[in-house]
Amino acid sequence: MPKIGDGVDAVTAFAGAAVAGMALFLPFAFSAASLEGSPYRVTSLVNSVPRAAALGLIVAVVIAVLVRPVNRPGLVWLTATCGALVLAINYFVAATMTSADVLTTQNYIDSLSGGVIYGALGICALRMRWPALGALGFALGTVVVFVYGEVVAVFSTDSAMTETTMHTPPALVIVVVVLLVVSTLRHRHGVMLPAQTRLAADLPITPIVAATVLALSALLATEWLSHEFDGRRASAWQVGIAVVVSVVAAFVAALLLPGRDGAGVLLAVSLAAAADSLGDAPDLGWSVVLVVALSTAGMLTGARWSTPWLALLGIAAISLYAIGASQLSWSFVWTIGVGLLACVAGYTFASIRVSYLPSAVLGLGALYLPSILWAIPTRLRNWPVGGITAAESTPGRAALAITIGAAAGLALLYRIRPDESATVVSS
């Protein structure tokens, strides 16, 4: 049976994944005083957010690959602790800054340290004595931040950013640092069996290449489509090109991963697009408790009855719901969409099975990459470009197209790769 220490490690995995996810996914927090008279630098900061997320994911996968063979778990926990300390220092320094000169630099530091935490903590959680418990905490922290960040408006309608821009609360940063220190001390004398020797043809560097291909392709497609919407209404074929690029990049990344590990990447790309198709809201409030509960229920269901095809069906349902509800403004319609997203996200990542642990870090972390739907402005979004908005159903249709493409890619991947036993990532 799991001991109290195992429960502490699971809580640390949850809180650490949440903090790292916020650092990767959400805009950098800074003092409101730095906004005054600095529109150019603040705009540069806003533009750096998706680029920093892409860079942070690559760093997370690099760290995961490097620490995977380490047989001293205390060193891996220490790596995550160091990343959390850098994040805390950067956060508190930023809160006292009155100049906007270094905002973009601090945003990149934020994402890089978040990537270090995420990559190291992912391996720690998945290599615990009770891996199902660690995976549950790590995946739940990832999914909750993903759902929260996708549906909450992080940019205000009257300014580029405000003092209330959501980011990691200071208390949570401190709590995570303390928890990581405790877990590091717990495992300082621990020794694990060496990582399984891999074939020469199955190079550990492939997850890093896969992360680079996926992150850069998503970033380039998003920025190109955003440029096409800049002051004018982009045509359907331009959105279609961005969809094709997203699907092809996800499939190439999936092929680079060993065995059928790439299924997680295909699911993540389609889920991120489906989440982006939902409209924004000012805040979740106490609904975040419901998100945690529904995500947990989805994970427990997926752990018992797991199949990526049912996950894709749920993702397609979110896209169809976004298309049908795009003309409605009732609050309960939005709440239903958030609940559906939480359940499907939890089920999706409880269904992932991998043979190489860094593949799980990439599959979960891919949720934080910029989606092409970020670049499609609509009435329900808070960042219309140049006053031009697309049809309300466009995001949902694009998400559905990506989901269909991901399903085709998954079928082809399963046809190419034989069915092999894999490690449970979340249960």
pLDDT digits (tens, 9 = 90+) for 221-243: 988 888 777 666 667 888 899 99
**CA torsion angle 372 378 383 388 (round to 10):** 100
Domains, the chain: 1-195 (1.20.1250), 199-427 (no CATH)
pLDDT of residue 225: 85
C-alpha span between 242 and 224 (Å, rounded): 8
* pLDDT of 265 higher than 60: yes
330 falls in which pLDDT band (50, 70, 90)?
A: low
Ramachandran angles phi, psi of 152, nearest 5°: -95, 130
- Which residues does 359 contact at the CB level (< 8 Å), separation at least 6? 207, 257, 258, 261, 262, 264
C-alpha span between 417 and 211 (Å, rounded): 20
* pLDDT of 427 higher than 50: no
In the three-class reduction of DSSP (H, G, I as helix; E, B as strand; rest coil), residue 396 is classed as: helix
For the segment 158-185, the average pLDDT, to the nearest whole number, is 70
CA diameter of the chain: 61
Q: Which residue has the higher pLDDT, 289 or 40?
A: 289
Q: What global pTM score does this model have?
A: 0.87
Q: Which residue has the higher pLDDT, 157 or 176?
A: 176
User: What's the distance, CA 55 to chain centroid?
Assistant: 12
pLDDT digits (tens, 9 = 90+) for 7-28: 888 899 999 999 998 888 776 6
pLDDT digits (tens, 9 = 90+) for 72-130: 888 999 999 999 999 988 888 877 766 656 777 788 888 999 999 999 999 988 887 76
pLDDT of residue 290: 82
